[in-house]
Amino acid sequence: MNTEMKYTPLSDLSGGGASETKLRIAVQKSGRLYDESVKLLNECGIELRNVKDRLKTVSDTFPMEVFFLRDDDIPQYVEDGVADIGIVGENVLYEKNKAADVVEKLGFGKCRLSIAVQRSQTYEGVQNLDGKRIATSYPFLVSEFLKKQNIIAEIHEISGSVEIAPGIGLADVVVDLVSSGSTLLMNGLKEVETILQSQAVLIKNKTLNKQQEILLEKLLFRIKAVKKAKRNKYVLMNAPNDKLQRIIALLPGMKSPTVLPLAETGWSSVHSVLSEDEFWEKIEQLKAAGAEGILVVPIEKMVM
């Protein structure tokens, strides 16, 4: 297996020594994580200039330099300390097996690394992989999985279009990233086993200095506020006073709901926050309890 690293020379990014007053972050320059990574930074108040077709840019609103790199290279740059932190998929991080710490799961770019076989095949468990030819772009993760399962199989490393391997006789089984599963179906395959659940994560170099750690904590504070807001909705409703206690009991909120009297006698306005996980169930219960004029507002930031 060819393990030679092919990535931009370190000097091209470091410029002979980056300022310690800035936090250097590596993000994907194109692909499925790019848009969400840049969007997250913007939502954290980190505005980037001259992003398009650039290898490096800076923020005017936060002490940060941003490097735009191939996703496969990001763990290497973070391990080497050229970038202090990075946003990368767990699948890439664990496949590259570099020395970097995960500091926050970001909640986007969710997918899974799965085993798939031809739909006509019977699959009874991992023992069916014994002696098989497996095509994948993730040889390290597949090898580790097979070792844990005491399975001996032949791994064929392929870069792209892994799903066609069984159809052309190159392999019996594939291990590839799956989101919806539609690509597997189009190629006559079925998903039978999941090796890894993956999402975008924020990683850091293991030897950040004190100043870098302080900047990272500030960034994490903003990221957590953005993530919290996305998982919650601000809800306002009108409630008859004779049903107020029943309605309040349905609303956990951050501490307790806010209740304000309306101009119309016998009615109050109730304000609260609902989790996305229980949102629709709670709304149905609130209507059944007598709430009217329910207004749902997205939350931009949520600081606890």
> What CATH number did the domain enclosing 118 receive?
3.40.190.10
- Domain contains 31: yes
Sheet strands side by side (includes 189-198): 154-157, 133-136, 173-178, 111-118, 189-198
Q: How confident is the model at residue 15 (pLDDT cuts 50, 70, 90)?
A: very low
Owner of token pair 């799965």: 114
- Mean pLDDT of all residues in 251-280: 87
Q: Hey, how many other C-beta atoms are within 10 angstroms of the C-beta on 218?
A: 14
Q: Are residues 287 and 222 in the same domain?
A: no
Same domain, 15 and 104: yes
Do 105 and 205 lie in one domain? The reply is: yes
| pLDDT grade for 287, boundaries at 50, 70 and 90 | very high
Say how many domains are in the chain: 3
Query: Confidence band (pLDDT; 50, 70, 90) for 301?
Result: confident
Give me the domain span that covers residue 251: 232-298
Secondary structure of residue 17 in the 3-state scheme: coil
**One domain for residues 210 and 126:** no
Kindly state whether residues 18 and 100 are assigned to the same domain.
Answer: yes
> pLDDT tens, 90-112?
999 999 999 999 999 999 999 99
Query: Do residues 244 and 291 touch, judged by C-beta distance below 8 A?
Result: no
Note the pLDDT of residue 161. 85
Please state, for a pLDDT cut of 90, what percent of the chain lies above it: 74
Is residue 154 included in any domain, yes or no? yes
Helix (H) or strand (E) holding 287: helix 279-289
Domain boundary among 177, 198, 219: 198
Q: Does a structural domain hold residue 274?
A: yes
Q: Is the Cβ–Cβ distance between 75 and 99 less than 8 Å?
A: no
Confidence of residue 253 (pLDDT cuts 50, 70, 90): low
Mean pLDDT to the nearest integer, 217-241: 94
What pLDDT is recorded for position 254?
A: 59
pLDDT bin (cut points 50, 70, 90) of residue 1 is: very low
Per-residue pLDDT band at 20 (split at 50, 70, 90): low
pLDDT of 62-86, one tens digit each?
999 999 999 999 999 999 999 999 9
Per-residue pLDDT reduced to its tens digit, 159-189: 888 999 998 999 999 999 998 888 898 889 9
The more confident residue out of 74 and 253 is: 74
Comparing CA positions, the residue from 303, 14, 71, 20 lying closest to residue 201 is 71
268: CATH: 3.30.70.120
* 123 neighbors 117 (Cβ within 8 angstroms): yes
Q: Is the pLDDT of residue 222 over 70?
A: yes
Q: What is the pLDDT of residue 221?
A: 96
pLDDT at 16: 43
* Mean pLDDT of the 116-143 span: 95
152 plus 293 within the same structural domain: no
Q: Is the pLDDT of residue 226 over 60?
A: yes
Please indicate, yes or no, whether residues 174 and 190 belong to a single structural domain of this protein. Answer: yes
pTM of the model: 0.82
Angle at 140 between CA 105 and CA 2, to 5 degrees: 125
